[in-house]
Amino acid sequence: MTGKLLKKLIRPPYRVIIILDLAAIPFVVIALGVLTETNPVSYAAYLLSAYALTVTVINFRDMIRYAKKLVKGDDLKIVVGFRRLMHKNKYTARWLDDRAFRAEVSLYTGLAVNLFYAAFKTVTGYMYSSVWLYSLGAYYFVFGAIRFVLMRNVRKNYRESDEHSKKIRECRTYRNCGILMFLMNAVMAGLAAQMVIMNEGDTLPKIVVIMSAAYTFYYFILAVYNMVSFRKADNMILSAAKNLTFAGALMSMYSLQTAMLTAFNENNGTDYRQLMNGITGAGVTLIVLLVSVIMIIKGSARMRKLQN
């Protein structure tokens, strides 16, 4: 009996999980932005969000599989009607049927959000006279520039008729993206060192920190989406975009951690904050370093093979 109840709690119906997720987000925002930490409603919000996150992570793979089945199948009339409506427009029809076009749209969307967030960090850096926020703004502008280069090369490849030249450009772009990520990783290491040694970080109002959390959440969704969408694509430029998005998601997570520790962890002192920032910063830096080195080696090797 207990086992059945536990199974129902861990694997509730998918519609219940979606309702929990939708309810938890505004509930936690109100708790963090309006209520005090000792308010009973705040405790309820934290418990609800923890439970919603747990069941979402446990059931995520099955939910994605079920969602794909609903979107591609004919079980839901509203989905069938919406799909029929999308096929009436050439751009939305192309988005449904052309994986490469969906990848290009994903690059454009990611670039737009990236530049908005870079401007947000720069403006808040000016408002709060924070060198840390200025540094993050510059980092995300460089990040956006790399995405723009990837987009240009995707469009050039569409116009290229020679398959051999296409593959060489893909390999060169992949390798160059790895080099730029390697250099950007040096900036990331400097930011991490600044956080640990000088103990600096975001000193923003809690509601603005929540906005940063929303960006991090979005970027992790985008990173997972790119990994799933581009895993079968025989295109090294899209693979480079996937790796770049993954690196951006890691940096967003690190930036959010520093902001959360500064805004919500006032009682643990500076030593704890420096320790956590040091561990996470070192981990993020090493992971991005490894990814960038693999991209440089792999891109160079494939390009030499094609040229020979």
* CA–CA separation, 27 and 41 (whole Å): 9
User: pLDDT, tens digit, for every residue of 243-259?
Assistant: 888 888 888 888 777 77
Return the DSSP state at 11.
S
* CA–CA separation, 72 and 80 (whole Å): 9
Q: Tell me which residue of 211, 168, 111 sits closest to 304, measured CA to CA.
A: 168
Q: Which of 57-61, 97-101, 259-263 has the highest mean pLDDT?
A: 57-61
**pLDDT the model gives residue 219:** 76
* CA–CA separation, 141 and 122 (whole Å): 10
User: pLDDT, tens digit, for every residue of 41-81?
Assistant: 777 877 888 888 788 878 777 777 777 776 666 666 776 77
* CA–CA separation, 3 and 137 (whole Å): 50
Global confidence as pTM: 0.67
Q: From the CB of residue 275, how many other CB atoms can be counted at a distance below 10 Å?
A: 12
- Dihedral Cα 202, 206, 208, 209, nearest 10 deg: 60
- Which residue, chain included where needed, has tokens 């980092």? 139
User: pLDDT, tens digit, for every residue of 196-227?
Assistant: 666 555 456 666 677 777 778 777 777 777 77
Phi-psi region of 25 (alpha: psi -120 to 50; beta: other; left: phi over 0): alpha
Q: Enumerate the domain spans of the chain.
A: 1-97, 98-308
Given a cut of 60, whether residue 266 has pLDDT beyond it is no
Q: Tell me which residue of 261, 248, 250, 244 sits closest to 295, measured CA to CA.
A: 244
User: pLDDT, tens digit, for every residue of 148-203?
Assistant: 888 777 777 767 677 777 788 888 888 888 888 888 887 777 777 766 666 555 45
Given a cut of 70, whether residue 232 has pLDDT beyond it is no
* CA–CA separation, 107 and 103 (whole Å): 6
Average pLDDT, whole number, for the chain?
76
- Which residue, chain included where needed, has tokens 């910063």? 281
Contact 247, 291 (CB under 8 A): yes
